[in-house]
Amino acid sequence: MCVPLLGPLEKSLIWKNAIPNRVGHCPIGCGFLSRKGLIVIVVVVVLVAVLMIAAILSTLDSETEVPLRSDTIPADVAKGTPATDYFKPVLHLDDWEDPVPMSGPINTAGAEDSPFITPDGNRFFFFFTPDVRVPAEKQLLDKVTGIWWSQKVGSVWTEPEKIILNDDLALDGAEFVLGDTLWFASIRAGNYGEIDIFTAQYEEGEWGNVENAGSQLNVDYDIGEFHLTADGNTIYFHTGNLGYGENMDLWTTNKVAGGWSQPVKVPDVNTDSTEGYPFLTQDGSELWYTGTSKLGYTGPAIFRCIKNGSGWDPAVEVLSNFAGECTMDSEGNLYFVHHYFSSNLTMLEADIYVAYHKSSSRSASAASIEVDPGLAIPAFGEDIQQQVSIASRYPLIASGQERR
């Protein structure tokens, strides 16, 4: 939620790359730096300075005019397609159609990351930034980087709109929606830490009533990207400030009187590798997460665990090759972020992909119209610093706003 990115999955683009460990996805991918690392300190200082300047400038211009996404994508950025993809997503289970780029107006030559679809399949949220080469402190100023959403009218997705969640400058991402409540992470003035979790409410056609989720989640537990159960009583999240080492783990905390319970690790799931960016099905029977491929593929992969009593069956790798930060509607259609990389592992851009469940109303015929094979376009760009070591370690190196 990021790099997303990740989601490179939740995601990194760079907010996943901006603050990998929160001193407290990682802004969509990342190798995780030391909590006291010099890079983190420098980035934090720069971001704080930018936020202070931005707060002053925003008083001079209270009306924020959001540019069109297409107008902010640099001319030297070309659209990635399956035809130009060196690391096409690989599906390992027969329950889904082969993954394809999401149809409609969602994907651009910029980076779409950290997807979330509501269970009814009618509202779609994602993180967008126009150029993966741009660092987070500049994304703060571009007026377009942040959370966007689209609504389905009939069978067609509307043109995405940016969700404005602050009068001043902020870098928002890692979104999750439960009913009419939007949970998200944000870099903004007044935070407890560098990246805090907030909530916003959807009322009368607008997102507003933004509130910080509080010091318990943002300071005491310092949660990373997360997913709430359907009843809102349990949060699954990847490692925050709980004595972790190099790799991410998954934890849960339950709603109790006055706040949230002491987090505990998810049983049977965590390994000595990476488990992050959780997604839970509506009925709670399946836990999905992003981790390092165990089948030898490059970059992050998507795993599924089936509920077994009070624990979970062994994880199964479902999608590989720079696939991460999955989300799913009630029909089982699997949406995720896929990052395009060059042959030398330079990140190019990110798109939202979907693998339609074969039992869903959108399988087969819908999947067949997702990709125009005539759109073969050369690869482009160069990611700011993600190379082989990060790509193989984990995750979503890319676009979006990612916590930890």
Any idea which residue has 């980076």 for tokens? 111
Q: Is 403's pLDDT higher than 70?
A: no
Q: Which tens digit of pLDDT belongs to each residue from 362-385?
A: 775 444 444 343 333 233 223 323
Residue 201 is assigned to a structural domain of this protein: yes
Helix (H) or strand (E) holding 272: none
Helix (H) or strand (E) holding 337: strand 334-341
Residue 403 is assigned to a structural domain of this protein: no
Q: Is the dihedral of CA 248, 254, 260, 262 positive or negative?
A: negative
Q: Is 182 helix (H, G, I), strand (E, B) or coil?
A: strand
What integer pLDDT is reported at residue 26 of this predicted model?
Answer: 36
Rounded to whole angstroms, how far apart are CA atoms 329 and 337?
15
Rounded to whole angstroms, how far apart are CA atoms 248 and 322?
17
Residue 125 is assigned to a structural domain of this protein: yes
> What phi and psi values does residue 15 have, to the nearest 5 degrees?
-95, -10
What integer pLDDT is reported at residue 361 of this predicted model?
Answer: 80
Residue 398 is assigned to a structural domain of this protein: no
Q: Is 185's pLDDT higher than 90?
A: yes
Rounded to whole angstroms, how far apart are CA atoms 401 and 404?
9
Residue 110 is assigned to a structural domain of this protein: yes
* Count of positions (residues) in the chain: 404
Both tokens of 316, joined, read: 């199964």
Higher pLDDT, 365 or 189: 189
Tally of domains in the chain? 1
Segment 48-56 long-range contacts (CB within 8 Å, at least 24 positions apart): 50/137, 50/140, 50/141, 50/169, 51/140, 51/168, 51/169, 51/170, 51/187, 51/188, 51/189, 52/189, 54/140, 54/141, 54/168, 54/169, 55/168, 55/169, 55/189
Rounded to whole angstroms, how far apart are CA atoms 258 and 396?
35
Res. 83 pLDDT band, cuts 50 70 90: very high
Residue 10 is assigned to a structural domain of this protein: no
Residue 35 is assigned to a structural domain of this protein: yes
Mean pLDDT across 214-223: 95
Q: Is 309's pLDDT higher than 50?
A: yes
Give the domain range for residue 238: 15-393
Local structure of residue 403 (DSSP, 8 states) = -
Q: Say if residues 201 and 209 touch (Cβ distance below 8 Å).
A: yes
Helix (H) or strand (E) holding 138: helix 136-139
Mean pLDDT (the chain) is: 80
Residue 381 is assigned to a structural domain of this protein: yes
Rounded to whole angstroms, how far apart are CA atoms 189 and 343?
39
Q: Say if residues 107 and 124 touch (Cβ distance below 8 Å).
A: no
Q: Which tens digit of pLDDT belongs to each residue from 96-127?
A: 999 999 999 999 999 999 999 999 999 999 99
CATH number, domain with residue 371? 2.115.10
